[in-house]
Structure 1
Amino acid sequence: MSDPGRSSRKRILIIDDQEPTRYVFRHSLSRAGFEIDEAVNGSDGLAKALTEPDLIICDVNLPDMLGYDVCRRLKSNPVTLSIPVLQISASFVSDESKVQALEGGADSYLTQPVEPMVLIAQVNSLLRLRRAESVANLSARQWQTTFDSLSDGVVLLNSEHVIVRTNRTLRDLLGLVPSDTDGKALAGIFYEKFGISFDEFLQQHGEGIPVELPCANRWFRLRQNVIESDPQAEDGSVLLITDITAHRKLQETLKFNERLAATGRLAHVIAHEINNPLEAMSNLLFLAERSSEDSSETRVYVEQASKELLRISQITKQVLAYHRESREPIPTRADEILENVLTMYRSHIMGSKVTLETRVRCSGEILVRPGELRQVFGNVIANALDAIGSNGGVLRIRCFNTTDQRTQQEGVRFIFSDSGSGVPEEMIPNIFDAFFTTKGAEGSGVGLWLSMDLIKKHGGYIRVRSRLKGPYRGTLFAVFLPLHSQ
């Protein structure tokens, strides 16, 4: 490399065995502000070229070798490769000589005699080209470094979906090397890594829409965007690949924690439900033991105790069913899921000064994982009871068959509305965001985010409306799920 501390004047090496020629060039170029170094033959010139002058002027007819050979050696050496070479000759003036010089790596060719103004102009032109090339090379290195430093994997594709370039992150994420990617069709790599064809991926998912796909033991988010310079022609596309394995693990952890929290919220409800019949059984068995009457009275006590025991058994089955999970979605009656949740919460609702109004008219089957849907409904009901508070209020729950006006899908709509304090309008857009809560330190901000995720997974959606005052104060959640036949 050139010494950064040397003079800013450009240094030119003249390789010529003729002292008069060197004198003329030295005189003209020195007056133009250049520093001059000289060599009298090819070997001397190659040695001095290692000091990296800014430009080399080389005669063709040298005593130890031809200037063509000098130029080829300069261009084959990484140290001197980028130095511009101007070849000059008084004897090799034919077009063939010029062609041989240029094909040997010379950047320009002049024949003697050369006017000083022409020489200086040619030198300045070659130096400008070198500066432009240096800037371009620096920009290319900066771009490549930036490209490789991106945290996302990037694939540049042409219009035929052939890989033009990939960054280092992409290759590290998928365990590839440059020879596996550049110039190869993406289809083979895509199917090998993600298990679906790239054409299928494009057909199923629109441009710019993030899609999460597994690869080995990791998860990736993929997004494809078309590059268009001409609206009538596709110039290629960019595929972004982000490793979201840690994010997915965090999501699963949050979901598991939320299920534990939901179980905890039900614990006191279950304890209350079971405690009542247990107390009744205890009293009845005590009376049966102490009874001095005939066996018929004792038999009545025992029969009543058996009924209470059956009641405990039913409650236990409901609890187990509430948290039982299905690996795959199964056709399930919508009203049965809702009634199961209401059974778990009804006594707690009544004991909280809350009036429960229900209207269940949804007998259709929906394709769901029942445990996940019960978790959603339980979370919405728990939030409604928190919003109503200890002063009491009204919780209205409805379920009916309907048709979604936007998609014309037949489905079931579940409505949960309370007369609680309501949610401020500015908070509504964020209410389904992870870790966003209106309960302050008492809320985790996970329940509604998880509910939204579960409903979307079942092909439905959840909407919310809220008012802070007036006769219709409170919050309403509407859940739509398509029928199994859809």
Structure 2
Amino acid sequence: MGEEARLATVLNVNDDAANRYLVNRILEMSGYHVLEAATGMAALLMAEEHRPDVIVLDVKLPDISGYEVCARLRSNAATAAIAVMHTSATFVTPDKKVQGLEGGADAYLTQPYEPSELIATVRSLLRLRHAEQQARLRTDQLIEMDRRKDEFLAMLAHELRNPLAAIMTAIGILERKAPSDTKEARMHGIIQRQTHHLARLVDDLLDVSRITRGKVELRQEPVSLTATFQQVLAILRPRVESRGLKLEVHLPRAPLWLEGDATRLEQVFTNLVDNAAKYTDEGSVTVELFQEGVDGTAQAVLRVKDTGIGISPEKLPAMFELFAQADTSLERSRGGLGIGLTLVRTLVRMHGGTVEATSGGPGQGSEFVVRLPLLPADRAPLSTGANLLDARRARRILLVEDNSDARQSMRDLLELWGHQVAVAPDGVRGVALALEHAPDLALVDIGLPGMDGFQVARTLRERVGQGLRLVALSGYGDPESYQQALKAGFDVHLTKPVRPADLDRVLSNL
């Protein structure tokens, strides 16, 4: 007699008293704790109250059938996991057995049966139930581990973005002054490229968690693909050319408008061009953006072609899968996390587009083609508008940031742009300075000690009103943080590290 027999409880449901007694004795002699019921309704009540491990359920009952009892057990969350064994002396045809098993029963015995057959079936159901319990427990553990992993990644991204924000802002200041010699210029370029690369890795690392949970969201608005791609190329060109590669670019003169998320589209373009450069040792990377089709079916086509290491036929179908990489050598000289192309496919699909990869094989280079639906002509903006960077004017700005390096570097950058800047290291002093100096705009870090950025925003909205423009600075870039910032009263949410060009664009637009 095993441990499971001494601990297991069996509910025996049968309206025939003699039959019920006989089954009770067989089960009790095998070491099981036995409960009994004579009707279907009584069985349902006892099942919910006592939660037996197994129910031996006769099909023919005086009130409701065993089929109905089983269906109700399965529909009740409290009893759905209980193992059910149908028994019957009359409903013994194959179609009746199929009906019982299809209706949720785990086993079906035809009476009369041998005691050993009954006990063997009960033990089998107990083993099955134990395995299911272990699987559910493991699933719950995995869900909890996944939740903790997501929290860790979010915290890691936040902690990494704070120092990156200070470095990136300092780079913006260094760029204002011409380097004294070629070596200094080269060092500036290295710092800039590697900081942008590190920032993108942090974003990709966090995005993979969002993708697996289906948490990636788009902030959609009319976007000019031509202008967006020009901004990306301004950053990527030095990075590509520093590898000794030639970057050939063919962009349309007219803007190509679509409904989308500019930041996410930049991420798509950056990953594709960066990927092409990373896997190309010599030669060129060619980028082409153009329109295909006519109004109503028009789409933008982006081609990114390289002369790099190529992709073998067996790896090509899996290139967009998570953690798939063309370079699987031990030295991992190409770097990367194997996340970028998965992000590309996910974001392109979310924009209603497609992406495909082709290659002639190893050493033959690769080509990635993205197709995105364009806005009809009657919905496209008439023009791209004036250059926002030219719209800059001096503002009174309050900066609330607890990281001293980030606070100082951003203050220096804003003052270089001609703004008057007051700074505060915490929320309480930030609110006091806002009430004292009446700034045009406040840049507020979310993760402040004591009074956090959300509380600062709500307080300023109550005491200053809607005239003050509020910009949230946060190491958390998930959609929940964005929505929470808007609810708290912020006008804009910027994820650290904030590129100087993006900050300037936001200030000018506000």
The two structures share one fold, judged by TM-score above 0.5: no
TM-score when normalising by structure 1: 0.39
TM-score when normalising by structure 2: 0.38
Max radius of gyration: which structure?
1
Structure with more relative contact order (C-alpha pairs < 8 Å, separation 6 or more): 2
